[in-house]
Amino acid sequence: MDTKTNHAAGPAAIRPYWMPEGVDFDGLPSDLRAGILTLVNPAYEELVLRTKPGLEQSTGVTIVQLLWLEVLEMFEIGRDFLHTDSSPDSRQERDAKVSRLLRVVAAKGKASAFWVRLQDFRERHGVLPGGYDPIQREFAGAD
Amino acid sequence: MPHSVDDEILEKLESVDQKVRDAIALIHQQADVFSRQGSVQESWRSYKGRRLGPYYRLAYRSGSKQRSIYLGSDQDGASLVRETLQLVQQEPRRQKSISECRKAVRSELRKTRRQLQDQLAAVGLRIQGAEIRGWYSARPQTDVIEAMD
C-alpha cells in the first residue's frame, strides 16, 4: 500500500475472517483496525472458537459483536473530542454517542454475566440449563 | 502516545512559509468545500530563456469561480498542503466505512439475538429486555427433587 496516498488508513492489516462481507475493512482508519484486531479477535477466539455450537457459542458471538460495537463507538467519541467544536449541536451529538456507548456497554455486561452464569450452571449441574449437554448435544434423560 | 498525521503536519508547519500555513488553515476552515475538491498544481515560468519552477498553487472552486492560492516554490510546503487535502478528503470515506461497519455489526447482532432466543426457548429460558429469565424452571429435575427433600 502506498502510505503517501493513504495516511489515514495506514498500512494494510489482515482482514479477520469473521468480518461480514459488507464491511470495507481496509477503508477503516488504521487505529480502529488495530483496535478490532487487538480487542475483538482474542475475544472471538476465546468465546466463539473455543466453545461448542449452541447456547454458549451464540452468547459468545453476542458478546463479541457488542464488544465490536463498543470499539466503534469509543473510536468515534475519541475522534469527536479531538476534531469537533464545543457548540451546543456538537455537544448534543457527542452526548447522544456517549449514551449509545453506555447502552452497548450495559448490554455487553448483561451478556457477559449470562455467559458466566452458564459456566457456573454447568459446573454445578454438569449440564446446561434445561439439562442440555453441549458435549453430547442432547438433553440429559431424553431417552 | 500515538502520533497522528495531524500532529505531524502541525510540527512541520512550524518551519514552513506563511503562505502554506494560510492554505492549510483555509482547508481546515472550509473542510466541507475541500472534502470534495481541490488540488495542488505545479506550474513553470520562463525568464530570459530559462525555465523556472516548479511553483505550486492550491487550486479549488468556490461557487462558480475557480480560485487559487499561491504556495511558492517550496516542495515540502506543497507536500504538506497535499497531505492536508488528502486528510480532509478521506474523512467522508472514513465516516462512510465506519457507518457501514456499524450497520453490518448491528445486523449480525439482530440475527444472533434471534438465534439465541430460539436456543434459550429450547432450554426453558427467555430474553426479557437485556436479561435472561426462567432460571428456576430450567434447573435439572434431579435438583428440584433434591431441593424438595
Who contacts A93 (Cβ-Cβ below 8 Å, separation ≥6)? A80, A84
Measured between CA atoms, the residue of chain B closest to residue A60 is: B112
Which runs of E-coded beta strand occur in A2-134?
132-133
pLDDT reported for residue A59: 92
Q: Pick B85 or A130 by higher pLDDT.
A: B85
Lowest mean pLDDT among A32-36, A96-100, B93-97: B93-97
pTM assigned to the model: 0.67
Q: Which three cell numbers stand for residue B11?
A: 510540527
- Going by C-alpha positions, the residue among B52, B81, B49, B80 that lies closest to residue B68 is B81
- Single-letter amino acid, residue B73: S
Closest chain A residue to B134 measured between Cα atoms? A129
Q: How many residues does chain B have?
A: 149
Which residues from B are below 8 Å from A106, CB to CB?
130
**A101: in domain:** yes
- Nearest in space to B132 (alpha carbons), one of A62, A40, A140: A62
Cross-chain Cβ contact B94/A8 below 8 Å: yes
B35-50: average pLDDT: 91
At A73, the pLDDT band (50, 70, 90 cuts) reads very high
Residue A135 belongs to some domain of the structure: yes
Nearest residue on chain B to A67, alpha-carbon basis: B105
Pair B86, A3: CB distance under 8 Å: no
Rounded to a whole number of angstroms, the distance from the CA of B117 to the nearest CA of chain A is: 9
Query: Residue written as cell 472458537?
Result: A49
Q: Helices B18-29 and B75-122: crossing angle, nearest 10°?
A: 30
Per CB-CB distance under 8 Å, the chain A contacts of B29 are none
Give the gap in angstroms from C-alpha B107 to the nearest C-alpha of chain A: 10
**In chain A, how many domains are there?**
1
Asked whether the ipTM of the predicted complex exceeds the cut of 0.85, the reply is no
What number of other Cβ atoms are within 10 A of residue A106's Cβ? 12
pLDDT, averaged across chain A:
78
* Residue in A27, A55, A65 closest to B105 by CB: A65
- Please check whether residue A95 lies inside any domain of the structure: yes
**Mean pLDDT score, B60-77:** 91
Contact B141 A131 (CB under 8 A): yes
What local confidence, expressed as pLDDT, does residue A130 receive? 66
Question: Tell me: the pLDDT tens digits for B112-143?
Answer: 999 988 888 888 888 887 788 887 776 665 55
Question: How far is it, in rounded angstroms, from Cα A139 to Cα A2?
Answer: 56
* B102/chain A closest Cα distance in angstroms: 7
The verdict on residue A19 lying in a domain is no
* Averaged pLDDT for residues B44-61: 91
Facing A69 at nearest CB: one of B87, B102, B140 = B102
A interface test, pick of B28, B105, B113 with most A CB neighbours within 10 Å? B105
Of A41-45, B76-80, B123-127, where does mean pLDDT reach its minimum?
A: B123-127
Asked if the structure places residue A22 within a domain, the reply is: no
What pLDDT was estimated at residue A31?
86
| Interchain CB contact of B108 with A (< 8 Å) | yes
Given pLDDT bands bounded at 50, 70 and 90, which one contains residue B48?
Answer: confident
Domain membership of residue A82 as a residue range: 32-139
Q: Would you give the distance in Å from CA A91 to the centre of its chain?
A: 26
